[in-house]
Amino acid sequence: MSDEKVTTDIITLSRHVLDEQRKHKEASGELTLLLNAVQLGVGLAGASNVQGEEQKKLDVISNEIFINALRSSGRVAVMVSEEDEQAIIVEDGLRGRYCVVFDPLDGSSNIDAGVNVGTIFGIYRTRPGSNGTVEDVLRPGKEMVVAGYCMYGSSANMVLSLGNGVNGYTLDNAIGEFILTHPNIRIPSRGKIYSVNEGNAMYWDEACTEYFNSLKFPPPGKNPYSARYIGSMVADVHRTLLYGGIFAYPADKKSKNGKLRLLYECFPMAYLVEQAGGKAVNGSGRILDIVPDQIHARAPIFLGSNDDVEDWEKINEKFAKK
Ligand code: P6P
């Protein structure tokens, strides 16, 4: 008889969320039902990614899958998708009290190269007395109640926070459930990796140039950081969360507000990184304090290990004072 320990107490995402909900006094089970719809959405979207269809079709397919899964849950009032110009207000009869902002297939331009892509999402509760309007999502990211992503690669990995730490789950295709595989993810206080598109270096401001040079040409006795840039935010942030270091998409002469979208790329990733003990700033302050002025607003972002982000802030403040 093999003495290999057989796990007989598998913790599924649904069970883990219910356990988490019980820690919240106002647990109503509504959020659990909504997260079941999110699981369905990402599970189906992930499955649709292997058909190798044209990338633009996969964006559309994933978007429709996610919208239908959320709408049919009956727990959503407002949806904002990277794929839709306007916010979607769910019709009466199916309207719930949560607002979901999402990028259904972030990084999809990389699909044909076999690079990991993913769904990024954040969830707000509608404001007290609101029946669900776009104003319910033009709020700072710190007011989100859930943030997460599902990365599609050799397996489907969901990383999720309900405001009480960060947990990672892996889809077990045999049972169609996400299983808790990375409990209580904590980002190292300092890493050895920087992740930025160096192809934009000629457009960077002086602070960025000085900061990244400080990582590449350190003082004697210190080793340079390694450069890792995949070009798919979910994959770059997932590595940063697990290994530490810094990921950045700065504002530059070409992109005055950076490239990444505040509501459904920067906010969820900043929320997760902070919940894991890291930091996320836009160059003049905390990402999660920003109030979006429109649903597709962009923002510069520097996120990752606390000490690495603080090193960037010190250099940036030096130039800000000039
Ligand atoms: P660049 C993918 O298109 C994306 O939105 C993010 O997933 C990724 O971090 C970024 O753009 C990459 O942009 O300009 O470096 O190719």
DSSP 229-269: --S-HHHHHHHHHHH--EEEE---SS-BTBSSBIIIIIHHH
How many whole angstroms from 236 Cα to the centroid of ligand 1?
10
Cβ–ligand 1 contact at 261 (below 6 Å): no
The whole-number pLDDT of residue 298 equals 98
pLDDT at 285 over 80: yes
Specify which of 13-22, 45-54, 296-305 reaches the highest per-range mean pLDDT: 296-305
- The set of residues, in sequence order, having a beta carbon less than 8 Å from that of 170 and lying 6+ positions away, is 155, 156, 157, 158, 178, 179, 181
Instruction: Quote the pLDDT of residue 4.
Output: 62
| Secondary structure tally for the chain: helices H, strands E | 7, 13
Dihedral sign, CA of 90, 94, 100, 104? negative
- pLDDT at site 32: 80
Contact yes or no for 132/93 (Cβ under 8 A): no
CA atoms of 98 and 89, how far apart (whole Å): 11
> Residue 264: is its pLDDT beyond 60?
yes
For the entire predicted model, the pTM comes to 0.94
Distance 197 CA to ligand 1 centre (A): 9
pLDDT value of position 56: 52
In this structure, the residue with its CA closest to atom 2 of ligand 1 is 107
**Distance from Cα 233 to the centre of ligand 1, integer Å:** 6
- Evaluate: CB of 259 within 6 angstroms of ligand 1: yes
Q: Is the ipTM, as predicted for this complex, more than 0.90?
A: yes
Q: What is the mean pLDDT of residues 192-221?
A: 98
Given a cut of 80, is residue 300 above it in pLDDT?
yes
* pLDDT tens for each residue of 86-145: 999 999 999 999 999 999 999 988 888 999 999 999 999 999 999 999 999 999 999 999
The answer to whether the CB of 71 is under 6 A from ligand 1 is: no
